[in-house]
Amino acid sequence: MTNSGLGFKSWAFDRTAAPRGYGWWYVDALSEDGRHGLTIIAFIGTVFSPWYTLARRGGAAADPENHCCLHVALYGAPQRWAMTDRRRGALKRGPDFLQIGPSALHWDGNALTIRIEETTAPLPSKLRGTVVLRPEALSTRAFQLDSDGRHHWHPIAARSRVEVALESPALRWSGPAYFDTNWGSAPLEQDFIGWDWCRAPMPEATAILYNAQRRDGSAQSLALRVARDGTVTDFEPPPPVEMPKTLWRIARPTRAESGGAQVVKTLVDAPFYSRSEIRTHLLGQEATAVHESLSLDRFASPAMFAMLPFRVPRPFT
């Protein structure tokens, strides 16, 4: 099912998250001139929070609403990072709005407006401003990512544009963007070893690849073509390609047609995941893509819990 026009009333910001589960809404964008980029993720059940992981390991049915977050990362100059894990008192939501602390998202049927009021980490500074995402078209096709139906993904608007107007730091730009949502009823590390994902916008379509390695020994490889009217169709997954590992030795696998894929710029090099700008070949064309690689074995290691609190603070109230 697809919806080539806009006008959807909501994107399930009020979807119930199961105990120990999660829901997130993800935006990424690159500026027209290639100098800037951003990622914004609104979490209910902050899956990469050490505080939520410890709550789940405590044996109780951990409440995802007691671990919510608006994560914002700016790439280029200046760079910024904010990922504050907040308690349930900071959360307000309805079908078309989601407020987490002082930050909020609102969908009006045609555009998603994100008001950012965050503090960066580990060095505190203000991160304040507005990002408006305008989809070219909407898609309603969602995907099950695991064998047992605990994890789902919906590429809402693979073809979008953003207008970035930040006050702190002072920054304005626009460019192509992407918007999706994931939700699940179990911790990611319980059911996945890791995954890699990329989205490559082109003039007439956007290609999305999603390759998951599951704990049960099976794997999933999705290769999707999203047309300008929002229609989502499958295509044959291209051959595997290995790009160079990050400084943290995180593998960056993907799939690409003849000519392969090359890393243009590493946007995030973290101990358990990477986000990169790559040059790839899909749907018979060369394209610049945003690529992500995640190691959930690395995330689940005890060493992560000594480092993550510095990047993911949690207020006392």
pLDDT of residue 5: 47
Q: Kindly report, residue by residue over 245-258, the tens digit of the pLDDT.
A: 999 999 999 999 98
Kindly state the average pLDDT of the residues 155-162: 97
**Element containing residue 118 per DSSP (H, E):** strand 112-119
Neighbouring CB atoms inside 10 A of 187's CB total: 23
Kindly state the average pLDDT of the residues 192-212: 97
Residue 141 within any structural domain of the chain: yes
Residue 290 within any structural domain of the chain: yes
Nearest-angstrom CA–CA distance, 18 and 183:
9
Residue 121 within any structural domain of the chain: yes
How many percent of the chain have pLDDT more than 90? 88
- Say how many domains are in the chain: 1
Q: For residue 153, what are the β-bridge partners?
A: 143, 182
Q: Kindly report, residue by residue over 18-74, the tens digit of the pLDDT.
A: 999 999 999 999 999 999 999 999 999 999 999 999 898 876 679 999 999 999 999
Neighbouring CB atoms inside 10 A of 52's CB total: 26
Residue 18 within any structural domain of the chain: yes
Nearest-angstrom CA–CA distance, 23 and 46:
8
**Of the given ranges (75-89, 156-170, 202-216, 293-307), which has the lowest mean pLDDT?**
293-307
* Sequence-distant (≥ 6) Cβ neighbours of residue 73 within 8 angstroms: 38, 39, 40, 79, 80, 81, 82, 267, 268, 275
- The SS3 call for residue 52 is helix
- Asked whether residue 8 carries a pLDDT value surpassing 90, the answer given is no
Nearest-angstrom CA–CA distance, 28 and 202:
16
Residue 316 within any structural domain of the chain: no
- Asked whether residue 79 carries a pLDDT value surpassing 50, the answer given is yes
Contact 206, 226 (CB under 8 A): yes
Residue 12 within any structural domain of the chain: yes
Residue 253 within any structural domain of the chain: yes
Nearest-angstrom CA–CA distance, 82 and 265:
21
- Asked whether residue 9 carries a pLDDT value surpassing 70, the answer given is no
Host domain of residue 52: 2-311
Owner of token pair 């390695």: 213
Q: What is the CATH number of the domain that holds 10?
A: 2.40.370.10
Buried b (16+ CB within 10 A) or exposed e, 165-175: ebeebebebbb
Residue 317 within any structural domain of the chain: no
